[in-house]
Structure 1
Amino acid sequence: MNLSRVGKHGTGMWNYSKNIADMLHESGFLDSIICSKDHVEYFSNRYKDPKVDIIITPEIVSNTMKVSKFRPLIWLSYSYFLGCKLVLSKKKKDVALLSTTHHSIPFFKNQFITIHDLRPAFYPDSKLQEIYFSHYLPRKVKELRGVFTVSETVKNEIEEHMGVARSDIQVVYNSVDPSLRPDGTDNSEQATIKNTFLMVGASWKHKNAHSFLKNFLAYHKDNYSAVIVCGQTDYFDELKSLVATLGLENNVTFKHHISEQELSSLYKTSFALVYPSLSEGFGIPPIEAMSLSLPVIVSDIPVFKEILGEAAVYVDPNVRESWEHAVDTLKVSRENVIDTGLQRVNLYSYERCKDMLMLALNNINEKSR
């Protein structure tokens, strides 16, 4: 597995990657892991029987919350060295390589990458990222054995925008992180609910947190507040400025680098999760929220219709009346929405996602015959 571009613990990308690694290891398919020094201790302690080889990559090539013009270029240069190292290795040359990110390794033909979403093609963080997703990646994927992704919605987008055959795209859903549900906790027992909306992962502009602040909270500041969990990115700076402009300093609290326990507590005590993204590949926070009996308000986009079904309340983020209607719906039917969400979460258990991975591997094996 190529995890060299996977960043810090606690991110959605990290949770997906370690789950896939666990599933492959449990099934006897995991030979080695390529990862940064930051993750070596975790995998060394986790995979002792059978033991898994670990190939360490420089920390500078892993991902971070900050947009960098140079880190992707450093990775691209380093990937050629890494590709040569793997090709020249007698032990590694015959294994299949799976990356849980969209980064491939040169010279390695028996390879799969994971495209979590096509957001960077439409809402890029930089010009370099736009070029990579719009021009380089569509050509590169045709040289590989196939692509993994996290939803049927993104599978359709990859087929349409990159010209990859549907039979070469495998879908494996994300699963709910069980650490958010401590052992012995009865999630049906509600904590004291505050008139606070929670936003999680609002580190990038496509997360569209500003639409909620401008089109709802600014008009209802006497009754509601919001907690925004995000990284200290450029978009965070924009949100801080917007909060000041709208006079919401007493209504909005920003939190960074919080523990899983604190996140779990926020899920349990908020009125609703707000997730008005313009583009997503899956949407982990809404599923996490549902697993802890927190109803969710999300933007009306295809991927949320697929993943959340009727368990969410949908909103047009740009329309004030749509927000107000969504909140009014929760005031009346909050318990029904919670119950529907708890049922929906069962679709994203670790076991079901492992079944999807095994089916994907079987599909790949059948096609290669």
Structure 2
Amino acid sequence: MRAVRVHEYGSRPQLDTVDEPRVSGPWDVLVEIGAAGLCRTDLHILEGQWDGIQHPDLPYVLGHENAGWVREVGAAVTNVSVGDAVILHPLVTCGLCAPCRLGQDSHCESSTFPGLNVDGGMAEYMLSNARAVVKLDEGLTPRDVAALADAGLTAYHAVRKAVPLLHPGSHAVVVGAGGLGHIGIQVLAALTSARITVVDSSPSALELAQGLGAHQVVRSTSEEAVRESVADITRGGADVVFDFVGEHGTELTGPQLLRNRGHYYTIGYGGEVRLPTLDLISREINVIGNLVGTYNDLVELMTLVAQRQVSLHTRVYPLDEVQRAIDDLDSGRLVGRGILVP
């Protein structure tokens, strides 16, 4: 089968021909990939940022946002059948450790992370397990939802955690309306009655945000201008800031957009949050990290998608045009999410 593989960090991935994975265990699920999302994390993987955390053996197949059709299952699998359309939770988990028993799939002590430390889904087939597969409602196709497996799940997880903070009359500021942020805006609109202000440097991203539920938008031209605009719109600062970028300065500006006792949710990454401890104490602000999401988060998100409350803004690329897709994402030409279709 064809597969997009990392051979060395700092270099472009290659489209290789490799053996198809095989079902060998009772809980295995073999999925024919219908679509794989392209994520900024894939750029960080290629740069080598994840090597110190995940230690994958090179070469391996990229792709951690995956959806497709079940083609074979192990003897113990009962929750899906051959032919079912499914979306895959990003982690393949054990179900036995303490985090799994608490429903905290992202923190499984014995998990693998396809696309980060084992072969992922930028290929024609991928091997997963019964705990990772969510059957899609009729009317949803893998191409429609693949990027929701990570980008959508991560955005949903962050917003879902913040729902108790976003009462009527509250203000939420979304920093970045790209591949993650444009999903977060829709989830905010679906789950809360907060006023939503979106900050981005791209006019096209801000136009998209307005069409997805943003009440107001701010074009990011300078740190000072953003602070002044947000302070004026929110009358003193946001209750919650969702930073879907987390680098290039947003991680420095984001906490400054909060009112006292506000909450800075960092979802994107790559930068470094720097806050004087006196500010943390005197203003009683909170900094919250967000890692992917739970299996139940993914099920709930798929319900919103089936109800047409959340949708993806995508650009589709054939698998053999993966490098063009990467270049479009890296240069900022890609608005929304890139989808690779084998």
Larger radius of gyration: 1
Same fold judged by TM-score > 0.5?
Answer: no
| Higher relative contact order (CA closer than 8 Å, sequence separation 6+) | 2
Greater percentage in strand: 2
Q: TM-score, normalised by structure 2?
A: 0.29
Q: When you count helix as a share of all residues, which structure comes out higher? A: 1
